[in-house]
Amino acid sequence: MMAMCDNPVPRSVRVGFYVDGFNLYYGLRSLRGRRYLWLDLHALASRLLKPGQTLTTIRYFSAHVRNEPGALLRQKTYLAVLETLEVDVVLGRFQEQRASCRICGASWRTYEEKQSDAALAAAIVGDVALDLVDVVLLLSADSDLCAAIEAVRSVDARRGGKTRVVTVFPPGRRSDGLRLASDAWFPLGEAIIRRSQLPDLVPGRDGARYHRPGYWN
């Protein structure tokens, strides 16, 4: 009697979504001012998936706004909403620096974002090394992340897998380095951003209620 072999059930392709918060922020601002800042990352990521793919994690990397109390309050409200949606929020920091004019010698205070890019790169490489994702969906146009993609290639080769890296460029932003380093890339269009907005009122944990900031209308 001939043995019967069950056809193996194909495994869903696991997708990790990694968001460069400041790159996305400035891309959204260049598109429609503040109108699209109340963005539902879970809805956005779900719309970017292809058939047979499953979203396994969303990681959002940013840093708290400095010296702008109103902006910081709005940002904290948005971050609380993201955590309600089970987005992994990772915060870096801003480091104070002094800039000066070479011509007149005038100087002024500036702030440079630190740690969040390194945390984003480490998260991508770590998730690939732990075999948690099959596709890295990277939302950024920061060419500094090319090194992370190279590290993914090295880790992936050692474990015998084939992880795809797909870069999504925020509106109005582009990186030739990331475009060449990625397996695929595409710009994030306004239509999908418009369809992925949060409702004006988002219920949170323990009875919390989060309202879209009026300044973002």
| Exposure of 160 in the CB half-sphere (CA atoms within 13 A) | 0
pTM of the model: 0.86
What is the length of the chain? 217
pLDDT band at 66 (very low <50, low <70, confident <90, very high): confident
Q: Average pLDDT for residues 30-48, to the nearest whole number?
A: 96
Residue 213 pLDDT: 96
In sign, the C-alpha dihedral spanning 118, 137, 66, 32 is positive
Cα distances (Å, whole numbers) of residue 194 to 117, 140, 187: 27, 19, 14
* 142-174 confidence digits (pLDDT tens): 999 999 999 999 998 887 778 999 999 999 999
What are 93-96's contacts with CB under 8 Å, separation 24+?
Answer: 93/63, 93/64, 94/63, 94/64, 94/66
Domains in the chain, start-ordered, CATH in brackets?
A: 13-212 (3.40.50.1010)
Q: And the tokens for 92? A: 């870096």
pLDDT greater than 80 at residue 187: yes
Residue 103 pLDDT: 60
